[in-house]
A and B are shown apart, each in its own frame.
Chain A
């Protein structure tokens, strides 16, 4: 299959990769040994493949790799830059918001986006925002707890003087 060279930014770093027309972002990431975005349902319904393209969440299993050319691709692997967990990652641990962990990357990236858009989501707003992510272990109550924890923590960090 004909492969093309593309360049893009993966978690902030420029990357050159060879992609075939049928490759999705999940295929591309797998070839680059990034396994945090995972294909599960393959239909963009479960959210296990969630990644950010130019700062916006997309289903990596439904996005053609070639179209990432020149863009920013951010994944769960880039979230703990410098070795420090993000507020949301820590909140997921503190709330016990996962069991098997297969869907966790996707949920965490979606919650990051949610809180960027809305710093005090109500439980209903959180449910609406996260309705495109599924968790077969059904850690939903704990995920909603994590949203609350992370929102509170982010606000308290903002209040602290620099």
Chain B
């Protein structure tokens, strides 16, 4: 299909705003009469609240109010929230479960007074035993939640209701074929364990929400990736109809999964309703570390391999450290868990995936929804097997790769998944078959390639509407949040393509739940596919109406649409509006009791990375010389934006690979700042970065497109580990792979 607007690499529609300092961030909002909130947080990792003394804080001049969990109960009798489990209190009630948990809030007109007053609150706790490690939490006597509280709305979580004396929030199991038999007769058996660390998104616009009380309603302004969910969740908590809660979102200063579901929204709504004034709560960079993080994990993986180097069976046990509240962790455990065997054609598999509660800050979704943790393990494992068998790692992958038409371990037949093309692109661009210089002396060089894949969380719904004006311009209403990924631009390109207008003539209305229709959330690379389809349908719906109008007024049938002409003929002047509406939900089949399903995802995302590194064996310093990213992109709607998404994702994952790690001491995060939690800077990126779009038409996607935001995170960590191994013979199995870690692996722990 030839397209003119789809496939155009035009700059982001909001580019001018962003380069002139006029980006429309929630952070800019000032409401008349608003008060500022400052959160008082728990200093113990696990404890019963004995008392909270707010008298000194309330006595400080300028303080409007001090609110505790008991006050919240006055307007929200069941103040527990969460997307999968209703386990997180808006403010702590009987117990605190991690250091940094919100316990009380000070409100004041001056944010500095609020901060000063928060320092004057004293809480007394009866400390309880705490557990931090995910493996220990499996059997620990320290129990984080007295009773599991899954959201009753999900049929697949119902069996967990009321479960006690466990930290396992959810266990997911998949069983295909007879893995035990395959292992018993295997030529080779390999078994390894890998770990990842807890990290944080650090969006540069720290989490912020404001609430404005109205007459029987509340308006929430929030830097949120999920306005529709925020509306329904706050309405549920208040016991109100959804139409009395309005959620408005501007541009986001980064999200990466940190701003999903609700974070501050219920709190500011409750505060605003309690004091009858607008409330602004803006977290500091430090406070973000106490709010949402990425799962630490432990992955035990075991493979049976036959004499030809074919993997015949695989067993995976994955333990996810979810922290004190479930957030979306149980869904990570399931929806990512079933891909734990990797993009390989394996006859028999057992997967056990566990979501654990611990006394750490809660973990949720972070760019990849658990996939980078899994790929880290299964690709490292893959390289170790290839090494032992003496087979080139790319060749070993070729022998086992999962190709279109073959069943994934869930039983779903692979389609539109260019796993082999991504692998071959990487091999070619890395010049894999050419001789490689491994360096000399104390500077050793090595290289590695790794690939991964991801299913899209399903089934989820998107709704869009397009309003076409008589002059041929169009307005697009959608609740997808543009946090930098370029969705406003890509969606406008779809509208423009269908209506035969220019993308520049489409305006996107930022999410406002009073106006913009429902969208599940902006997460998991789902928007291009789901919202893209809804937008296409909405635009097509408008187009059909325009064609009908044209026919009625007797305009000649043409292939191209002349919108102003149609309106002029229909109304005798430039007048009228056509509104198109589109809804999209893909088909899906829930996994059965063995975790099997013949339709487990609407599409697959494939991504991989190749790297060359240089290791200074005397210091352990690791320098990336080259990074090649490739991802299966369907048909890219805007190739330029797609490329920036690829390198952005890969560099972010590079941070999680070599430097970023939340350090905890007795449950207290000790490096909750950019001074001590080091994200990649401009001098940390490889001097040579290539991004390759492997175009593979997605048959159900809008104009053949699929999601892209996470794909380039998949392969980075294991590719770096293999490159280090290739350079200096040392295998690291735990992230992050810092210079000191590598030094110690090279030289032993001698004193």
- Interface residues of chain A, those whose CB is within 8 Å of chain B, are 1, 22, 34-38, 40-43, 45-46, 48, 75-77, 79-80, 85, 89-90, 92-94, 96, 98-105, 108, 123, 127-128, 130-131, 133-144
Measured CA separation A103–B25 after assembly (Å): 12
Measured CA separation A130–B685 after assembly (Å): 13
Can you list 28 A-B pairs, Cβ within 8 angstroms, ordered by A? A34-B21, A36-B20, A36-B21, A38-B27, A41-B204, A43-B674, A77-B22, A90-B19, A93-B15, A96-B640, A98-B19, A98-B484, A99-B486, A99-B645, A100-B255, A101-B18, A102-B23, A102-B25, A102-B203, A104-B23, A128-B683, A131-B681, A135-B204, A138-B651, A140-B682, A140-B685, A141-B685, A142-B644
Q: Which residues of A contact B18 (CB under 8 A)?
A: 98, 101, 104
Q: Would A100 and B253 be within 8 Å (CB), given that A42-B284, A134-B679, A142-B644 are in contact? A: yes
Q: Which residue of A lies closest to B20 (CB)?
A: A80
B 667-686 contacts with A by CB, 8 A:
673-675, 679-683, 685
- Interface residues of chain B, those whose CB is within 8 Å of chain A, are 11-12, 14-23, 25, 27-28, 110, 112, 201-206, 251-256, 284-285, 483-486, 640-641, 644-645, 647-648, 650-652, 673-675, 679-683, 685, 687, 689
On whether the beta carbons of A35 and B681 are closer than 8 Å, the reply is: no
Q: Would A76 and B21 be within 8 Å (CB), given that A136-B202, A136-B679 are in contact? A: yes
On whether the beta carbons of B110 and A99 are closer than 8 Å, the reply is: no
On whether the beta carbons of B641 and A141 are closer than 8 Å, the reply is: no
Q: Which residue of A lies closest to B680 (CB)?
A: A138
On whether the beta carbons of A138 and B685 are closer than 8 Å, the reply is: yes
- Output the least CB separation between B383 and chain A (Å): 25
On whether the beta carbons of B254 and A137 are closer than 8 Å, the reply is: yes
- Output the least CB separation between B505 and chain A (Å): 19
Measured CA separation A28–B11 after assembly (Å): 32
On whether the beta carbons of A45 and B674 are closer than 8 Å, the reply is: yes
- Output the least CB separation between B167 and chain A (Å): 32
On whether the beta carbons of A143 and B682 are closer than 8 Å, the reply is: yes
On whether the beta carbons of B254 and A130 are closer than 8 Å, the reply is: no
* New A-B pairs, 14, CB < 8 Å, besides A1-B110, A89-B20, A141-B689: A35-B21, A36-B20, A43-B673, A76-B20, A92-B19, A93-B19, A94-B11, A100-B252, A102-B25, A104-B23, A133-B682, A134-B679, A137-B254, A138-B652
Q: Which residue of B lies closest to A88 (CB)?
A: B19
Measured CA separation A22–B111 after assembly (Å): 12
Measured CA separation A1–B645 after assembly (Å): 46
Measured CA separation A123–B689 after assembly (Å): 14
Q: Which residues of A contact B484 (CB under 8 A)?
A: 98-101, 137
In the complex, number of A-B residue pairs with CB atoms less than 8 Å apart:
157
- Output the least CB separation between A127 and chain B (Å): 5
Q: Which residue of A lies closest to B643 (CB)?
A: A96
Measured CA separation A95–B648 after assembly (Å): 14
- Output the least CB separation between B483 and chain A (Å): 6
On whether the beta carbons of A96 and B682 are closer than 8 Å, the reply is: no
Which of B19, B484, B687, B689 neighbours the largest number of chain A CB atoms within 10 Å of its CB?
B19
On whether the beta carbons of A102 and B19 are closer than 8 Å, the reply is: no
On whether the beta carbons of B285 and A41 are closer than 8 Å, the reply is: yes
On whether the beta carbons of A79 and B20 are closer than 8 Å, the reply is: yes
On whether the beta carbons of A93 and B683 are closer than 8 Å, the reply is: no
- Output the least CB separation between B208 and chain A (Å): 11
Measured CA separation A108–B21 after assembly (Å): 10
Q: Which residues of A contact B685 (CB under 8 A)?
A: 138, 140-141
Q: Which residues of A contact B252 (CB under 8 A)?
A: 100
Measured CA separation A142–B9 after assembly (Å): 14
Q: Which residues of A contact B641 (CB under 8 A)?
A: 96
- Output the least CB separation between A140 and chain B (Å): 5
On whether the beta carbons of A127 and B683 are closer than 8 Å, the reply is: yes
Measured CA separation A27–B734 after assembly (Å): 42
Q: Which of B27, B675, B689 contacts A45 (CB 8 A)?
A: B675
Measured CA separation A49–B652 after assembly (Å): 22
- Output the least CB separation between A135 and chain B (Å): 8
Q: Which residues of B contact A127 (CB under 8 A)?
A: 682-683
Q: Which residue of B lies closest to A38 (CB)?
A: B27
On whether the beta carbons of B251 and A43 are closer than 8 Å, the reply is: no
Q: Which residue of A lies closest to B253 (CB)?
A: A102
On whether the beta carbons of B483 and A100 are closer than 8 Å, the reply is: yes
Q: Which of B19, B255, B673, B680 contacts A108 (CB 8 A)?
A: B19
On whether the beta carbons of A41 and B251 are closer than 8 Å, the reply is: no
Q: Which residues of B contact A102 (CB under 8 A)?
A: 23, 25, 203-205, 253-254
Measured CA separation A92–B15 after assembly (Å): 9
Q: Which residues of B contact A77 (CB under 8 A)?
A: 20-22
Q: Which residues of B contact A48 (CB under 8 A)?
A: 204
Measured CA separation A67–B674 after assembly (Å): 26
Which of A1, A123, A136, A139 neighbours the largest number of chain B CB atoms within 10 Å of its CB?
A136
Q: Which residues of A contact B28 (CB under 8 A)?
A: 35
Measured CA separation A46–B689 after assembly (Å): 23
Measured CA separation A90–B14 after assembly (Å): 13
Q: Would A46 and B485 be within 8 Å (CB), given that A36-B20, A100-B251 are in contact? A: no
Q: Which residues of B contact A98 (CB under 8 A)?
A: 15, 18-19, 484
Q: Would A101 and B648 be within 8 Å (CB), given that A92-B19, A131-B682, A141-B685 are in contact? A: no
Measured CA separation A90–B18 after assembly (Å): 11
On whether the beta carbons of A40 and B206 are closer than 8 Å, the reply is: yes
Q: Which residues of A contact B201 (CB under 8 A)?
A: 136
Q: Would A100 and B21 be within 8 Å (CB), given that A133-B682, A136-B202, A141-B685 are in contact? A: no
Q: Which of B17, B25, B650, B674 contacts A41 (CB 8 A)?
A: B674
- Output the least CB separation between A22 and chain B (Å): 6
On whether the beta carbons of A103 and B20 are closer than 8 Å, the reply is: no
Measured CA separation A74–B347 after assembly (Å): 65
Q: Which of B112, B650, B651, B680 contacts A22 (CB 8 A)?
A: B112
Q: Which residue of B lies closest to A20 (CB)?
A: B112
List 10 A-B pairs, minimum CB-CB distance, nearest first. A36-B21, A100-B484, A102-B253, A99-B484, A101-B18, A76-B21, A138-B651, A41-B674, A89-B19, A102-B204
Q: Would A136 and B20 be within 8 Å (CB), given that A100-B251, A100-B254 are in contact? A: no
Q: Which residues of B contact A45 (CB under 8 A)?
A: 674-675
Q: Which residues of B contact A123 (CB under 8 A)?
A: 687
Q: Which residues of A contact B204 (CB under 8 A)?
A: 38, 40-41, 46, 48, 100, 102-103, 134-136
Measured CA separation A101–B645 after assembly (Å): 14
Measured CA separation A89–B20 after assembly (Å): 8
Q: Which residues of A contact B20 (CB under 8 A)?
A: 36, 76-77, 79-80, 85, 89
Q: Which residues of B contact A99 (CB under 8 A)?
A: 254, 484-486, 644-645, 648
- Output the least CB separation between B747 and chain A (Å): 30
Q: Which residues of A contact B687 (CB under 8 A)?
A: 123
